[in-house]
Amino acid sequence: MEIQEALQWTDNLIFATTGKHLDSLQRAILEGVWEGKGYQDISDEYHCSNDHVRKSASDLWQLLSDLLGEEVKKKNVRSLIENKIFSSFNGVQIGNIGNNVNLCNDLYNQSKIPRSRSPSPPSNKSEPRHDLSQAPEYNRLYNRTEPLATLKQWILEENSRIITLSGLSGIGKTALARQLVEQIKDNFDRILWRSHRKLPNLETLQSHIIEFLAPTPPSQNPSIINYLNSRNSLLDHLRNHRCLIILDDFQETLTPGELVGNYRPEYQNYGQLIHEIGQLPHNSCLLLLTWEQPLEIATLETETCACKTLPVLGLGKLATEILSARQLKDEKKWPELIQLYSGNPLWLNIIASTILDLFNGSVQEYLSYPTLFLGDLEPILKQHYQRLSESEKIIIQWLATQDQPVKISQKPPELLSDADFLKAIQSLKRRSLLEKSSGLTLQPVIKQYVKNLSEKCF
């Protein structure tokens, strides 16, 4: 196999995930290793130090290991890449990146892709239109290979119609969706990203979507006004084009202060619309990013396999990458810090700033401080707490006083009636505020926030 082919394939693979191309040194390393050269020869030819080449090579092998799901080293890189290219050419499932034939075929040769999401009907063919103006820029993500593979499987292979990414703020829903869009955008005629923070009501949302999906821009098509508010026309558009619609901060449509699931008055008929999008046949996909799972989604998931929810979880031990990027000290103590902040990338970044500011970067000193410090996390946690109903607050305050996970059957009789208790537990789960474990328990940060609140009250 020619090195140019391997370079192109590797470059595509890396670009699809990180948005960055191979740099000239990485190309020189790959080329050199392909030809059996040592690092010393490569550094001589590239006119840089041996250490620099070794470091760059080690980063490149690590990145490729992450993407391919196998350990890549100088010794095996050539045979691994040759095998992957050969496999992807023959439609064999490969790699962690996507664990998915389509992506790798995609990377190798767009024209060869057998897509299971069928293309738009020919009469509706028009230039792809993508509006990501409300989406954030995308950065390199740690430990998201598996969820990305799952999402691609659901969307590209299984034609899911609604997918919900749920999780507390800062866990990485938006970042994950952004990365996903970058990897699958070529499979859609229309991509629209909207945030509910910027949409005042359901009508505005529908008109945004219909305007965007209409075959010609509304300025050239006055008749669009006639069907702006019609749900049927929205569904027609979802049938006529392969659309990916991402709606971020979906929790903004739900009423705070009540159990999860009731829409604000201005979003009253949203549930019905979601139900139709989930139930009726079409070839598009709605991606909802939310702190709280809407009720219709929970019901739809039991009715059709075309609707799925992916809870976005903490980064686990790979969150060390964040701490390392922030140049914190006491690496041995990092796992403890990650566990306390549940591997939440936003929380870890915020607390890393505090540790740098107040403890000169020493995680050990920070952890020896007697109470878990929340600092700039408080306003974020407050937003979650303020959305709770009274019964949920009662449960969460009770759980904050428990040292061990408790069983549902351990509920003190005076706390709430059995029915109210179970409703509130279910609602807290839909808000990702209860940990999935053998019993009921709170994340350490949430527990501390609630404890602080109770102390303020007395």
Ligand X SMILES: Nc1ncnc2c1ncn2[C@@H]1O[C@H](COP(=O)(O)OP(=O)(O)O)[C@@H](O)[C@H]1O
Least Å distance, CB 171 to Mg ion, is 9
Tokens describing residue 132? 């990501």
Least Å distance, CB 30 to ligand X, is 25
Partner whose binding site includes residue 142, from ligand X, Mg ion, none (CB under 5 to 8 Å by kind): ligand X
Residues 6 or more apart whose Cβ sits within 8 Å of residue 89 = 105, 108, 112
Least Å distance, CB 78 to Mg ion, is 41
Partner whose binding site includes residue 171, from Mg ion, ligand X, none (CB under 5 to 8 Å by kind): ligand X
Q: By CB under 5 A, name the binding residues for Mg ion.
A: 174
Whole-number Å distance between alpha carbons of 339 and 444: 8
By C-beta, is 346 or 415 nearer to Mg ion? 346
Whole-number Å distance between alpha carbons of 47 and 50: 9
By C-beta, is 306 or 338 nearer to ligand X? 338
By C-beta, is 313 or 400 nearer to ligand X? 313
Least Å distance, CB 295 to ligand X, is 21
Q: By CB under 6 A, name the binding residues for ligand X.
A: 139, 141-144, 167, 169-175, 315, 322, 345-346
Strands 129-131 and 162-166: unpaired
Of residues 396, 408, 373, the one with CA closest to residue 443? 396
Partner whose binding site includes residue 315, from Mg ion, ligand X, none (CB under 5 to 8 Å by kind): ligand X
Least Å distance, CB 301 to ligand X, is 21
Partner whose binding site includes residue 388, from Mg ion, ligand X, none (CB under 5 to 8 Å by kind): none
Q: How far is CA 37 from CA 22, 65, 273, in A?
A: 19, 21, 61
Q: Which residue is nearest to Mg ion (CB)?
A: 174
CB 376 within 8 A of CB 382: no
Task: Find the Cα–Cα–Cα–Cα dihedral 317, 323, 324, 327, rounded to 10°.
Answer: -160
Residues 6 or more apart whose Cβ sits within 8 Å of residue 204 = none
Partner whose binding site includes residue 345, from Mg ion, ligand X, none (CB under 5 to 8 Å by kind): ligand X
By C-beta, is 353 or 360 nearer to ligand X? 353
Q: Which residue is nearest to ligand X (CB)?
A: 172
* Angle subtended at Cα 274 by Cα 268 and Cα 277, rounded to the nearest 5 degrees: 145
Least Å distance, CB 223 to ligand X, is 37
| Residue given tokens 């020619």 in the structure block | 2
Partner whose binding site includes residue 56, from ligand X, Mg ion, none (CB under 5 to 8 Å by kind): none
By C-beta, is 164 or 174 nearer to Mg ion? 174
